[in-house]
Amino acid sequence: MESQLPAEFMVNVDHERCRRCKRCVINCSFSAIEFKDKVTPNHRLCVACHRCATFCPEGAITITENPLEYKYGYNWTPEIRKNILKQAESGGIILTGMGNPRPYPIYWDHMLIDACQVTNPSIDPLREPMELRTYLGAKPECVEFDSEHISLETELAPQVKLDIPVVFAAMSYGAISLNAHKALAMAAKRMGTLMNTGEGGLHEELASYTDRIIVQVASGRFGVTSKYLNNSALVEIKIGQGAKPGIGGHLPGEKVGEDISKTRMIPVGTDALSPAPHHDIYSIEDLSQLIYAIKETTDYKKPVSVKIAAVHNVAAIASGIVRAGADIVMIDGFRGGTGAAPMVIRDHVGIPIELALAAVDERLRQEGIRNRASILVGGSIRQSADVVKAIALGADACVIGTASLIAMGCRVCQKCYTGNCAWGIATQKPELVRRLNPEIAADRLCNLLTAWGHEIQEVLGSLGINAIESLRGSRERLRGVGLPQEALDILGIKHAGIGQ
């Protein structure tokens, strides 16, 4: 069927400046630029990944939105019309990548942070210690000492140390390239934080980083062996993902080459299917069994995390997870990224992480079990301010996926599911993977975390506190702006203008 879909973007080539080096042709992994006597774009195929524009030595290329106007309709937006055209042509579910791009309210941007003036002095992080160290894991209610009051009697559950309360999100080898995995592992090790294998198993080349790696057990159970579980900082059971709550995963057979097949332990060329539920978890008791099966396998030396998508009933679910024995609850908000998801799910299912986090932290406190698990949150943590606000709402640490990819070069073009990522990130094509230099990407990731670390320290200093634990859950230091009372109540914060 001849497509009626207009191009989304226009590739504009300034032929006067173009010196016909063809770099753009080589770089465009979406075949949107050809060379026919001169550089000739096929606008329809362009996804605005900026690869050509970035590498054109003459700066001769710009990408613009197709100025083709649609007759105005508040209801029938151009996007909706285009989606209908697509489905009328394909008959299929619309697939997409990255996180929910729709204009739902971003609560982070409606919260403001306090600062000290006069009565309580602020602290200068350049002169005084400013501590970000965080330990993930279950904490007992209290510590006990022997009768002499000298030696510790309490044996703490395993704790994982973070030098900065920001860890890299689960992204599987398969969804992203081995070079991207390597960069994340190197950066995690250098910065004293963690990376997460996602559900695709652990490539053997990452063996030397295992004390900084979260290994995931998802419904497909790819690459899960007892060695895999034991070679880790902690183990995460993935129940759901913010971008696609209640939906499984599908890595198409074309991407399952020699290496991925080995890592995932499935035959070359077969589709890697992660079922929507775990087929051995149909209730909270089943989850508890899996948690303890993993704890037995790892000799109770690794914290076990359970990752869920933020859905309406998230607080009760999180409480069940803690009672089922999890040491960490990871909550992924509805704006979290993905390698591939049906658009209908990505854009319409789940709830914002800010509200989910506030509800979970409050619920666990009401039940007196907040100490029994750490809370990790992700799903569009975009900047250090988001981290500060999340911790003030009650998180122990944040998880960044999209932000870490952007640091490595991703342009959020949302075409991860095509396997053509021009930046060597969401692809398995060797010629594209080669574009991502793991060393350089690791440096960029470390720079990002270093910068955020300094920014968080600045904010702590201005709050007059010198340890991150004095911020954690301290909602008194946040105020809402322009939020309805209900949202303020759920977030547990006052409106700006109200003092103590």
Partner 1 sequence: MKCDGLMNPEVSKTSERVHQRIPSGCAISGMMSEEGRRIDGRVIIKSIACMHDRSNGLGGGFAAYGIYPKRKHQYAFHMMYDNVEAKEATEEIFKDIFNVDMDEPIPTHRENGISNPPLLWRYFLEAPENKLEFISERDYVMKMVMRINSEVEGAFVASSGKNMGAFKGVGYPEDIGKFYKLEDYSAYIWTAHGRFPTNTPGWWGGAHPFTLLDWSVVHNGEISSYGINKRYLEMYGYRLELRTDTEVIAYLFDLLVRRHKLPIDKAVMSLASPFWKDIDRMEPEQKKIATAIRQVYGSSLLNGPFSIILGHSRGMIGLNDRIKLRPMTAARKDDMLYMASEESAIREIAPDLDEVWSPRAGTAVIGTLKEEVE
Interface with ligand SF4 in residues 316-355 (CB under 6 A): none
CB of 147 to partner 1, least distance (A): 10
Strand spans (E) along 61-212: 61-65, 95-96, 111-113, 134-136, 160-162, 166-168, 195-196
Question: Interface with ligand SF4 includes 100 (CB under 6 A)?
Answer: no
CB of 33 to ligand SF4, least distance (A): 5
- Residue placing its CB nearer to partner 1 in the complex, 55 or 135: 135
Q: Which of 195, 201, 204, 194 is nearest to 173 (CA)?
A: 201
119 C-beta neighbours (distance < 10 Å), count: 6
Question: Interface with partner 1 includes 144 (CB under 8 A)?
Answer: yes
CA distance 455 to 166: 13
123 binds, among ligand SF4, partner 1, none (CB under 5 to 8 A by kind): partner 1
Q: Which of 342, 422, 311, 416 is nearest to 52 (CA)?
A: 422
Q: Are strands 478-480 and 111-113 parallel, antiparallel or unpaired?
A: antiparallel
Token pair listed for 217:
């057990």
CB of 124 to ligand SF4, least distance (A): 38
371 binds, among partner 1, ligand SF4, none (CB under 5 to 8 A by kind): partner 1
- In Å, what is the CA distance from 236 to each residue of 115, 191, 195, 198, 242? 36, 21, 12, 9, 15
Give Cα 68 distance to the centre of its chain.
34
30 binds, among partner 1, ligand SF4, none (CB under 5 to 8 A by kind): ligand SF4
- Residue placing its CB nearer to ligand SF4 in the complex, 42 or 383: 42
CA dihedral 155, 158, 162, 165 (to 10 degrees): -90
- Residue placing its CB nearer to partner 1 in the complex, 16 or 144: 144
Token pair listed for 148:
């002499």
Interface with ligand SF4 in residues 408-467 (CB under 6 A): 410-416, 421-423, 425-426
In the stretch 21-60, what mask flags binding to ligand SF4 with x, by CB under 6 A? ------xx-x-xx------------xxxxxxx--------
Question: Interface with partner 1 includes 112 (CB under 8 A)?
Answer: no
Four-residue CA torsion sign, 362, 364, 369, 373: negative
21 binds, among ligand SF4, partner 1, none (CB under 5 to 8 A by kind): none
- Residues forming contacts to partner 1 in the complex (CB under 8 A) are 116, 118-121, 123, 128-129, 131, 133, 135, 137, 139-145, 149, 151-152, 154, 156, 159, 365, 368, 370-371, 392, 463-467, 469-477, 500
